[in-house]
């Protein structure tokens, strides 16, 4: 049995509460992504479910918060049905989604996918308010501070990026009406396609946050052209967004690139504490995203995460250098 013996009492409590039995027809470990959780596909009564056992906890990785968020999303049919969740034990059981490739199997055009993703996020943002945690931009300050203290990449290689980001940070504030129930980590691994519709999973990062966090994440993954960004925003808002909304989305796209860049690189620094890089040289982000979709690029190795983190920081630097940046920041700061 691959479930650790130390976790068996908590798992047995979950199985008994959900199904009235502790007997499993089958259990198979699955890749758990970067969260540190242990994930299993289990069968009970011949039906497949997903069993998740949490790993390390801290103020951010708090099941007491994100189990609530996941439950709200599941009640809105945006996340798989939750059969059991106990924050004290750190165990959840939910319906298992047979995943298909968004790149290879999506039954529609690219525009159809962008529209469906925007509609899904709009529905999420209309759910009852998630618990608050931290101001999103304050959280970004902490992540960047950790990255800079790590010494992973020579300061000279990132100086221009963080100088320009500091200008953005000084001018960007979340508008009061823009705090919504937010997933905050809608990377492609957390958007599942079952052949008919999209599902959102992995809610560890969810809390009440700026609506543009989720919008920017989707835009950076799916909207490769200005026309696709406009389609995403128009679908989400139900109308052509005004200049202020367009500016906020543009700025948050750069913040989002920095977020994923430092998240990945902080993980690499923890895994390879003696590694020292002198540049941000890496493949382009569009190339990496395409390879991720087809399985030709993996994030399971520190080298893959290093390349991805650098690609994200390079994308942010390109955006902050753009002629569009000063005008967008002026609109939002005003």
Question: What is the structure's pLDDT at 1?
Answer: 53
Pair (264, 115) in one structural domain:
yes
Residue 194 belongs to a domain: yes
Interatomic CA distance for residues 300 and 95, integer angstroms: 25
Domain of residue 130, CATH code: 3.90.1200.10
Going by C-alpha positions, the residue among 308, 124, 108 that lies closest to residue 215 is 124
Pair (289, 264) in one structural domain:
yes
pTM score over 0.75: yes
Residue 180 belongs to a domain: yes
Pair (207, 234) in one structural domain:
yes
Residue 280 is given by DSSP the state: -
Q: pLDDT (tens digit, 0 to 9) for every residue of the chain, 334 residues total?
A: 589 999 999 999 999 999 999 999 999 999 766 667 899 999 999 999 999 999 888 778 899 999 999 999 999 999 999 999 999 999 999 999 999 988 889 999 999 999 999 999 999 999 999 999 999 999 999 999 999 999 999 999 999 999 999 999 999 999 989 999 999 999 888 999 999 999 999 999 999 999 999 999 999 999 999 999 999 999 999 999 999 999 999 999 999 999 999 999 999 999 999 999 999 999 998 888 777 767 777 888 999 999 999 999 999 999 999 999 999 999 999 8
25-31: list long-range contacts, CB under 8 Å, 24+ apart: 27/1, 27/2, 27/3, 27/51, 28/2, 29/2, 31/300
Pair (91, 207) in one structural domain:
no
Residue 76 exposure: Cα atoms within 13 Å on the Cβ side: 23
Per residue, the 3-state secondary structure of 164-187, as one string, reads HHHHHHHHCCCCHHHEEEECCCCC
Strand pairing class (91-95; 47-53): antiparallel
Domain boundary pick from 70, 95, 120: 95
Pair (150, 285) in one structural domain:
yes
Question: What is the structure's pLDDT at 32?
Answer: 61
Domain boundary pick from 44, 67, 95: 95
Domain of residue 15, CATH code: 3.30.200.20
Question: What is the structure's pLDDT at 77?
Answer: 98
| Range list of H helices, the chain | 8-19, 63-75, 110-125, 136-150, 155-171, 211-222, 226-237, 243-271, 285-294, 302-321, 324-333
- Domain range for 20 is 5-95
Pair (191, 74) in one structural domain:
no
Question: What is the structure's pLDDT at 292?
Answer: 75
Interatomic CA distance for residues 253 and 148, integer angstroms: 21
Buried b / exposed e along 305-331 (16+ C-beta atoms within 10 A): bbbbbbbbbbbbbebbeeeebeebbeb
Going by C-alpha positions, the residue among 2, 100, 99, 83 that lies closest to residue 49 is 83
**How many C-beta neighbours within 10 Å does residue 297 have?**
16
Chain CA centroid to CA 213, Å: 10
The residue written with tokens 């992540």 in the block is 143
Pair (86, 198) in one structural domain:
no
Contact assessment for residue 163 and residue 102, using Cβ atoms and an 8 Å cutoff: no
List of residues 6+ apart from 27 with CB closer than 8 A: 1, 2, 3, 40, 41, 42, 43, 51
Question: What is the structure's pLDDT at 36?
Answer: 75
Pair (137, 86) in one structural domain:
no
Q: How many domains does the chain have?
A: 2
Residue 102 belongs to a domain: no
Interatomic CA distance for residues 258 and 317, integer angstroms: 9
Pair (233, 290) in one structural domain:
yes
DSSP bridge pairs for 139: none
């Amino acid at each position: 049995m691959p479930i650790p013996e130390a976790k068996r009492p908590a798992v047995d409590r979950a199985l008994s509460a959900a199904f009235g039995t502790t007997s499993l027809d089958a259990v198979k470990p699955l890749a758990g992504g970067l969260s540190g959780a242990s994930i299993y596909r289990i069968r009970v009564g011949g039906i497949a479910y997903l069993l998740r056992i949490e790993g390390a906890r801290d103020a951010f990785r708090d099941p007491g918060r994100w189990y609530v968020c996941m439950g709200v999303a599941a009640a809105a049919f945006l996340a798989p049905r939750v059969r059991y969740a106990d924050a004290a034990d750190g165990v959840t059981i939910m319906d298992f989604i047979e995943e298909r490739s968004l790149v290879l199997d999506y039954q529609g055009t690219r525009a159809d996918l962008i529209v469906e993703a925007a509609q899904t996020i709009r529905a999420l943002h209309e759910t009852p308010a998630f618990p608050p945690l931290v101001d999103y931009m304050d959280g970004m300050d902490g992540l960047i501070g950790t990255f800079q203290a790590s010494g992973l990449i020579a300061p000279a290689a990132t100086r221009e990026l963080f100088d320009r980001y500091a200008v953005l940070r000084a001018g960007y504030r979340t508008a009061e009406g823009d705090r919504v129930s937010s997933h905050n980590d809608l990377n492609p691994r957390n958007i599942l396609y079952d052949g008919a519709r999209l599902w959102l999973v992995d809610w560890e990062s969810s809390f009440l946050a700026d609506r543009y966090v989720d919008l920017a994440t989707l835009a950076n993954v799916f909207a490769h052209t200005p026309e696709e960004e406009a389609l995403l925003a128009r679908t989400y808002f139900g109308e052509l967004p005004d200049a202020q909304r367009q500016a906020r989305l543009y700025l948050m796209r750069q913040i989002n690139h920095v977020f994923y860049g430092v998240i990945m690189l902080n993980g690499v620094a923890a895994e390879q504490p003696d590694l020292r890089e002198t540049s941000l040289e890496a493949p382009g982000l569009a190339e990496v995203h395409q390879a991720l979709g087809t399985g030709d690029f993996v994030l399971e190795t520190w080298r893959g995460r290093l390349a991805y983190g650098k690609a994200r920081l390079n994308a942010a630097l390109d955006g902050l250098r753009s002629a569009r940046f000063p005008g967008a920041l002026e609109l939002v700061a005003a």
